[in-house]
Amino acid sequence: MALGIKGIVGYIFIHTITRWLVAEAASTNEAISKKGYRLSPLLLLCAGIIPFFSSNWESYVIAVPILLGSFEGAYWSAFHGFRKSADTKGERSSVNRFQRYEVASTMIAAALVIWLKYQDMVEYGGVLGSAFALIAIIIPMNEGSSEVSIGLSTSEVWSENAVRGRIVTGSLGVISYLSLWSMRIISLQTGGIALLGGMVAASKLIGFLISWFNEKRKAPEDADLVNWKIGNYLALTGIVVMTMSLFYSLEEIFLISYLFCTCGTSGILHPLEVRFSGELLSGEGGNIGLRERIKFGTQAKILIGYLGLAVPIITYLGEVPDVRILLIPALILSVMCCVLNLNPRTIDAMRFHQPA
């Protein structure tokens, strides 16, 4: 990464803030949101080909995160609205189908990255991603997509149910965001990110299989609560070991521990969060993508708050501290979110409001 740790932090900041602002702007009304969703693959296409036209640090640290953040903000703020509008078999079935596609696409992407790595063709990864984005642009949307409503979120954003939804999506968003970027920073410093990507994909698959197995042998509501506990305990265990490994400079242990974390978060908790928060935040009022906007906003505010504390300290010291010192507070915050999710009051609230 250009500019070292400063470049990584710059990339994270620009990507996170752009994603949040674009999600908010794109959700202003349905016409803008639908147009942004349809054209979002163009942003992914541009992000993939920019490095072939410019190799300076501004391209990697400024242009690419702006384009990727804009893509994610425009796409995800509308996606689940379209998914729900097209649903005919119930939210549980719809989310499970979404999770299967997401796991499969993650596995395929990881396999392609590993193949490119061992063919010594990593520089073509952006081209391949751009090709997929181009295909997405060419494929027409389903008939009637322009007529369906995607404003399915409540306008009472501070009601009792909405606050519960905020807690669920905000806490998991913080855990996933901080653990993911901690992993990326460490892996960029140690190398071997292609193989790690394959291991992360496999870990996500294992989490999905655990969730599926529990749903097969338990009643749906019981399976949800069991999966919620297992997912949070896996994430908590992984993050605690990640934190401890930083104290002893055990980067390999750190990365292996992340696999337990992502097994819990991406493999098990993510579909639960989509259903639980989606249900709690749904309602009248025509609000668009409220769950995604809360998640992106929470992540952006956490980052701004962290930098607000860290930058004055770094300025006073006159140098950037060791990366491990920068990551440990973020991981401790993630641990606190896992503990919050396992609090009996949180679990009772989820039991009280089980989505269909």
Where residue 300 sits, what CATH number does that domain have?
A: 1.20.1250.20
Q: Is residue 96 part of a domain?
A: no
Q: Is residue 92 part of a domain?
A: no
pLDDT digits (tens, 9 = 90+) for 119-133: 777 777 777 777 888
Question: Nearest-CA neighbor of 269 among 304, 301, 233?
Answer: 233
pLDDT of residue 207 exceeding 90, the answer is yes
Q: Is residue 145 part of a domain?
A: yes
Same domain, 146 and 7: yes
Same domain, 305 and 265: yes
Same domain, 140 and 201: no
Tokens of 247: 């104290």
DSSP state for residue 60 in the 8-state scheme: I
Ranking 42-46, 103-107, 137-141, 337-341 by mean pLDDT, the lowest is: 137-141
pLDDT of residue 170 exceeding 90, the answer is yes
Give dist(CA 110, CA 196) in Å, integer: 9
**Tell me, what's the pLDDT at 102?**
92
Domain count, the chain: 2
Q: Torsion angle, CA of 250/338/107/13, rounded to 10 degrees? A: -80
Same domain, 183 and 287: yes
Residue 168: band (very low, low, confident or very high) from pLDDT cuts 50, 70, 90? very high
CB atoms within 10 A of CB 300: 20
**Tell me, what's the pLDDT at 135?**
86
Same domain, 260 and 298: yes
Same domain, 225 and 302: yes
Tokens of 184: 């990326």
Tokens of 228: 């919620």
Helix (H) or strand (E) holding 277: helix 270-280
Which residues constitute the domain of residue 62? 1-86+120-150
Handedness of CA 120, 125, 127, 131 (dihedral sign): positive
Q: Is residue 76 part of a domain?
A: yes
Residue 68: band (very low, low, confident or very high) from pLDDT cuts 50, 70, 90? very high
| Whole-number Cα distances in Å, 286 to 16, 162, 206, 335 | 25, 15, 37, 35
Tokens of 110: 């990881």
Q: Is residue 321 part of a domain?
A: yes
Q: Read off the pLDDT of each residue in 321-345 and give the average, rounded to a whole number.
A: 91
DSSP state for residue 123 in the 8-state scheme: G
Please state the three-class secondary structure of 137-185 as a single string.
HHCCCCCCCCCCCCCCECCCCCCHHHHHHHHHHHHHHHHHHHHHHHHHH
Give dist(CA 326, CA 76) in Å, integer: 29
Q: Is residue 128 part of a domain?
A: yes
Same domain, 136 and 235: no
Same domain, 157 and 272: yes
Q: What share of the chain has pLDDT > 70, as a percent?
A: 95
Q: Is residue 243 part of a domain?
A: yes
Residue 191: band (very low, low, confident or very high) from pLDDT cuts 50, 70, 90? low
Same domain, 131 and 185: no
Residue 2: band (very low, low, confident or very high) from pLDDT cuts 50, 70, 90? low
Same domain, 182 and 286: yes
- Rounded to an integer, what is the distance from CA 300 to the centroid of its chain? 13
Same domain, 246 and 144: no
Same domain, 140 and 252: no
Question: Nearest-CA neighbor of 78 among 39, 42, 41, 26?
Answer: 26
pTM comes to 0.92
Q: Is residue 103 part of a domain?
A: no
